[in-house]
Amino acid sequence: MFRIDDTIAAVSTATVPVGAAGRSIIRVCGPDTFAVLSKIVTAPQPIQKNRISRCVVHVDDELDIDGLLYAFFQPHSYTGQDLAELHLDACGAIIEAVLEKLYQHIRPAAAGEFTQRAFLNGKMDLTQAEAVAEIVSAANTTQLAAAERLLHGRFSDTVAMLRSRIIELLGRLEAGLDFSEEDIVFISTEDALKEVDAVRQQLVGLLEGSIRCERIIDMDSVGLAGVPNAGKSRLLNRLLGHSRSIVSDTEATTRDVLTGLLKLENINCVLFDCAGLLSESQQGTQINQLSHEASLAALNTAALVLFCVDAGKQDLEAERQMRQQITAETVLYVMTKIDTVTPEQVTQQQAALGSLFEAEFILTSAVTQEGLGPLKNQIQAELLRHRSADQEYESRHMINQRHERKLTEAIQLLGESAHEIKANSTEITAMLLRQVYELLGGLETEDISETILDDIFSRFCIGK
C-alpha cells in the first residue's frame, strides 16, 4: 500500500481518442496539492475552497491553455484531503504533457487510490467504496441504479443495526459471567436463544433476499437463431453497426459463434450469431454436427433468442423442427429480408408464420434497415423485463461476493452460538458472538487487512 500522505495525480475520465479533443479531468490529491498546482496553473484570483476558478495551465514554454479549477480543501472533499480537479478541453497529447509536468513533483495515483483514501479517512465505508467501482463499471441503467443503492448505505445500515443487537446481547451474557457467583440473571437462556435466532433469521433474510452485484453486472446474451441463409449474419452486422460476420448467399458460411456488443438506450448486451441449426439428415459430417451442437448450446443458455425466418421461404418444415430444439425462456420472432419480396408476399408470409408458430413476427430488412428500430426496442424491453429492474431491484439489498461469504459465515456462527446456549456454555457463546460482531464489522470498516484492501481497490480503474 502506498503512503496516504503522498500527493498523487491521475486522469479520472475516459481517454480522449487519438485525433480528437474532449473534456478531461485531472485529479490531484494530497497535502501538496495546491502548492504543486501553483507551479503550472495561474488563476486570476486566489484559490478558494469549494469554488470553481477559471485558470490558465502552462503546458510548456510555448503553449498555455484555458481550464477550470475545482478546489476542495480538507476535510471537506471526496478523499478527506486537499483535492483539486483540472477540467481541460484538449487532445490526449496535451493532457499527457500536463501530467508529465505534475509528475515532476508528485507521483501517479494507483488504481482506486482516491477512493481508497476516502475509505481510510472515514469518508465512506468499505461497502460504499466497492459501490463506487460498481458505478464506474455499470453498463446499463439497471446496474447503475443498483450500485447507487449500495453507495447510499442501505446495506450498511441494516448490518449496523444487527451488530448493535449482537453487542447488546453480548454485553448481557458477559455481565452474567462477571456476576456468576451472585444470584443475578441478566438474560435467561430462553431470551438469549430468541435473540440469537432473531438475528440469524434477519441475516438469512438479508442473504437470500439480496441480489448479487456480479449478477447484474454480467451482460445478457442475445442469440440469432435460424436455418442456414436465414439472413442472420447481415442482421447481426446491421444491429451492431459494423461488419462482424461474413455475409454470403452461400449457405452455412458461419461455422463458429460470433459475438459483438449491442448498445441499446438503457442496457447493453452481447449479441451473437452462430451456425444455422441443421436437421439430423443435414448434419452429416462431424464438423456440421459440432457446429450444430455449439449453436444449440449457445442459444439455449441465452437470455433472449431472435428466431429468424426468411420472408421468401416457402417450405417452413426445417424452421418448425428447429424451433422445437430451442428451449430458451424468451424468444422474439423476426422475419428477415422483407426487401426481397413484394408487400403482398410479406403479408402472406406473416400470416403463414403467425399460424405456424402462434406468434407475431417483427418485420425487418438488413438492407433497407426497416424494422431495426422496433426490433432494438423490443430486445431492450425483454431484457429489462428479464431482469425485472423496476420492481425486483428496488426493494432488495445489493451485495457482492465478499458480502455473501461473510454473511454465510456469520449465519453459521450464530447457529453454533444457539447450540452453546442450550448447553449452558456461556463463555463459548460469548466468544462466538464476538466473532460474529467482528465478522460483520469487516463488511464495512473494521478488521480489514492491508492485503484485502489492496485486492479490493486494485480492481478499480486509475483516477477513481
Q: What is the pLDDT of residue 361?
A: 95
Q: Where do the H-state alpha helices sit in 179-316?
A: 189-208, 213-217, 232-240, 280-283, 286-300
The amino acid occupying position 356 is L
Q: What is the pLDDT of residue 278?
A: 53
* Cβ-contact 124, 456 below 8 angstroms: no
Q: How far apart are CA 286 and CA 292, in angstroms?
A: 10
Label the pairing between strands 268-273 and 220-225. parallel
Q: Provide the 10 A C-beta neighbour count for residue 89.
A: 14
Greater model confidence, 41 or 244: 41
pLDDT at 256 over 70: no
Average pLDDT over residues 404-419: 88
DSSP 3-state of 344 = helix
Q: Dump pLDDT digits (tens) for 66-123.
A: 989 998 898 888 888 999 999 998 888 888 889 999 999 999 988 878 888 887 787 7
Confidence of residue 30 (pLDDT cuts 50, 70, 90): very high
- For the chain, the average pLDDT equals 78
Q: Dump pLDDT digits (tens) for 221-253.
A: 898 988 888 888 899 989 988 765 444 444 444
Average pLDDT over residues 373-378: 94
Q: How far apart are CA 328 and CA 79, in angstroms?
A: 47
Q: Where do the H-state alpha helices sit in 106-253?
A: 113-120, 126-137, 141-151, 154-178, 189-208, 213-217, 232-240
Per domain, the residue ranges of the chain are 8-125, 131-210+396-444, 217-387
Specify the residue for cell string 441504479. Answer: 145
Lowest mean per-residue pLDDT among 92-96, 208-212, 282-286, 401-405 = 282-286
DSSP 3-state of 372 = helix
Most confident of 64-73, 200-209, 338-347: 338-347
Instruction: Give the CA dihedral 262, 265, 266, 268, nearest 10 degrees.
Output: 10
Confidence of residue 21 (pLDDT cuts 50, 70, 90): confident
Q: Is the pTM of this model over 0.85?
A: no
CATH superfamily of 8-125: Probable tRNA modification gtpase trme; domain 1 (3.30.1360.120)
Average pLDDT over residues 345-362: 93
* The C-alpha cell that represents 455 in the structure block: 485486492
Q: What is the pLDDT of residue 189?
A: 85
Average pLDDT over residues 47-56: 79
Q: What is the pLDDT of residue 277?
A: 59
Average pLDDT over residues 345-354: 93
Q: How far apart are CA 111 and CA 454, in angstroms?
A: 9
Q: What is the pLDDT of residue 186?
A: 62
Q: Dump pLDDT digits (tens) for 276-299.
A: 555 555 545 555 566 667 677 778
Q: What is the pLDDT of residue 255?
A: 42
pLDDT at 346 over 90: yes
Kindly report the CATH class assigned to 131-210+396-444.
mainly alpha
CATH number of 217-387: 3.40.50.300
* The C-alpha cell that represents 225 in the structure block: 437463431
pLDDT at 193 over 80: yes
* Cβ-contact 307, 225 below 8 angstroms: yes
pLDDT at 263 over 70: yes
Q: How far apart are CA 460 and CA 130, in angstroms?
A: 9
* Cβ-contact 238, 160 below 8 angstroms: no
Q: What is the pLDDT of residue 250?
A: 41
Kindly state the percentage of the chain with pLDDT values over 70: 71
Average pLDDT over residues 191-200: 90
